[in-house]
Amino acid sequence: MAEAALLLVTTKIGIAVAAESLHYTRSVAKLSENMTLIRNDLELIRAFLKEIGKKASTDGVTETWIGQVRRLAYDMEDIVDQFMYVVGKHHQKGSWWISVKKILKKPQYLFTLGEIATALKRINQALTRLKQNKDWTEPIAGVGDVSATNYDSQQQLYLPGHDYSISDDEVVGFDKNREILMESLNLQECLPLKIIALWGMGGIGKSTLVSNVFRNEGSNFECHAWVSVSQSYKLDDIWRRMLKEIYSKDKKELDAEKMTCAELQDELKEILQIKRYLIILDDVWTAEDFRKIKEVLVETKMGSRIIITTRFDEVASEADDAYKIKVEPLEEKDAWLLFCRKAFPRIENHICPLALQKCGKSIVKKCGGLPLALVAIGSILSLKAKNVTEWSLFLGQLKWELHNNRNLSRVEKILNLSYKYLPDYLKSCFLYCAMFPEDHLIHRKRLIRLWVAEGFIEQKGTCSLEDIAEGYLTELVQRSMLHVVERNSFNRIKRV
């Protein structure tokens, strides 16, 4: 989040400095110059944070340093807002009475500018100290950290993968999607290769659903493989893992580690062109990634199937509309059922005690219908005392638990991935939505006007800022970051 805070404040400084560059007061010009120097330093720190973000994990010292950066960015944002307000008042034009009031308030105005100058000096000192303390993070960040481009480490740290320990009775609320998925696999008369896509936000249960179907239906295909793709991947790693799984099922040995990318491609094509296969590509991030991987998945006219799970509508569009499945959050009833199965595994029929129902339902509501969160939190509560005091304490510190409880860290990491890889121009827009109360419905027109007013929207060609902002909103929806509640008669987003 520190990176987004820096993006926001550097953008605001740019707006403030540009707006006041035409004004003539020497004191304002000096403040603008100081803010520009601070912005330059903050941009360098932001670039450094982006490099840190490429690591699969960070140590405690680095996390503490990042927290200090975030607090500094917030302080600087407050100063910029105050600067724009004070200088804006000073340059107001209007009646003679406004001029008289400005003269009467001149001492207060000068004092306010002095306060801003003092605050900027304090920010500069803190910034200098932060740059010096950055050296603390470098020797630690280089040891034990794994680059996010490392396929195996990235998969273990972030990706859900296929979990064969999931029982059929734990696949709750997916009956309709599960039926569609199984029918698409069992269409014997449909011989051409078919691509099936499941898409939705992280933690929504896409991998869980596919895992269940894969376990039950995989044996109906001559060969099958499951590959987790991830945001940063190596194409030869994907093909190597696919080849290993296929050969392990055939009980053949192959030294895939020594094979080049071209050799892997040729070997896979040779195997797959004579078999009816099922390939699962889990967590695909871009359509281009899928097209590269698909080069080896040849059309055999034998009824082969490719299933992809993704967070993005664009990637899901690689499948035909009939085979494009949107996975939605669980309904309240199903969410409660799943939670109770994990929280009360040893109680007959998994019935929640009456005394815990109010607190339990408040916890379930916080999960927003996400199976990943429901399962993780329910499992933790299954180990706690079954009393109101214990559960109320957990509910009260749920946010803290998400950040600090190792058993919940996987939930936070998987959900944060979607935000982590947002383009810069979308991060501030998305974070701004947090200003609205929980469960508040946000109207499209109001939201995009607020984005424009905050300076989040960059001019592109001859398009209006409102049209660009609406495009940003659509992109956030397509990335499963915002959920559309209502559309108008023209199919435009009305409320999220």
Which own/partner pairs from 84-88 qualify as long-range (CB within 8 Å, at least 24 positions apart)?
Answer: 84/12, 84/15, 84/16, 84/19, 86/112, 86/113, 86/116, 87/20, 87/23, 87/28
**Global confidence as pTM:** 0.70
Question: What would the two tokens of residue 232 be?
Answer: 């940063």
Per-residue pLDDT tens digits of the chain, which is 496 residues long: 566 667 667 777 776 766 655 454 666 777 777 778 887 877 777 777 776 665 555 667 777 887 888 788 888 878 887 777 776 665 554 443 344 444 444 444 444 777 888 888 888 888 888 877 766 555 444 444 444 444 344 444 434 444 444 555 567 788 888 888 888 887 665 678 889 999 988 888 888 888 888 888 888 888 888 888 876 678 888 888 888 888 776 555 666 777 878 888 888 888 888 888 899 999 898 888 899 888 888 888 888 899 999 999 999 999 888 889 998 888 899 999 999 988 998 888 888 999 999 999 999 988 888 888 888 888 888 888 888 998 998 888 887 777 777 777 677 777 777 877 788 788 888 888 888 887 788 999 999 999 988 878 888 888 899 999 999 999 999 888 888 888 888 888 888 8
Phi first, then psi, for residue 301 (nearest 5°) are: 60, 30
pLDDT computed for residue 358 by the predictor: 92
Amino acid type, 160:
P
Spatial distance between the Cα atoms of 187 and 296, rounded to a whole number of angstroms: 23
On the CB side of 401, CA atoms within 13 Å amount to 17
Nearest-CA neighbor of 141 among 64, 242, 245?
A: 64
pLDDT computed for residue 250 by the predictor: 57
DSSP state of 352: P
Q: Interior CA angle at 289 toward 467 and 145, to 5°?
A: 100
Name residue 309's beta-bridge partners: 198
pLDDT computed for residue 473 by the predictor: 93
Contacts of 102 (CB under 8 A, 6+ apart): 89, 90, 92, 109
Cβ(169)–Cβ(72) below 8 Å: no
Spatial distance between the Cα atoms of 400 and 423, rounded to a whole number of angstroms: 27
Nearest-CA neighbor of 157 among 55, 4, 48, 293?
A: 55
Cβ(141)–Cβ(52) below 8 Å: yes
For residue 187, CA distances in Å to 178, 191, 305 come to: 15, 8, 10
pLDDT computed for residue 69 by the predictor: 81
Cβ(327)–Cβ(204) below 8 Å: yes
- Range 155-326 has CATH code 3.40.720.10: no
Nearest-CA neighbor of 370 among 322, 415, 425, 340?
A: 415
Spatial distance between the Cα atoms of 417 and 411, rounded to a whole number of angstroms: 10
Spatial distance between the Cα atoms of 143 and 349, rounded to a whole number of angstroms: 49
| Secondary structure of 185-211 in HEC code, one letter for each residue | HCCCCCCCCEEEEEECCCCCCHHHHHH
Nearest-CA neighbor of 340 among 329, 351, 355, 354?
A: 351
Domain boundaries, the chain: 2-145, 155-326, 332-416, 422-495
Spatial distance between the Cα atoms of 76 and 7, rounded to a whole number of angstroms: 12
Spatial distance between the Cα atoms of 236 and 84, rounded to a whole number of angstroms: 53
Name residue 281's beta-bridge partners: 227, 308
CA dihedral of 443, 448, 450, 454, whole degrees rounded to 10? 160
For residue 396, CA distances in Å to 362, 366, 379 come to: 10, 11, 18
For 437, the enclosing helix (H) or strand (E) is: none
Contacts of 208 (CB under 8 A, 6+ apart): 160, 163, 166, 171, 174, 371
Question: What would the two tokens of residue 147 be?
Answer: 């680059």
CA dihedral of 307, 313, 317, 323, whole degrees rounded to 10? 50
pLDDT computed for residue 456 by the predictor: 82
Spatial distance between the Cα atoms of 457 and 439, rounded to a whole number of angstroms: 25
Cβ(58)–Cβ(143) below 8 Å: no
Question: What would the two tokens of residue 476 be?
Answer: 């956030």
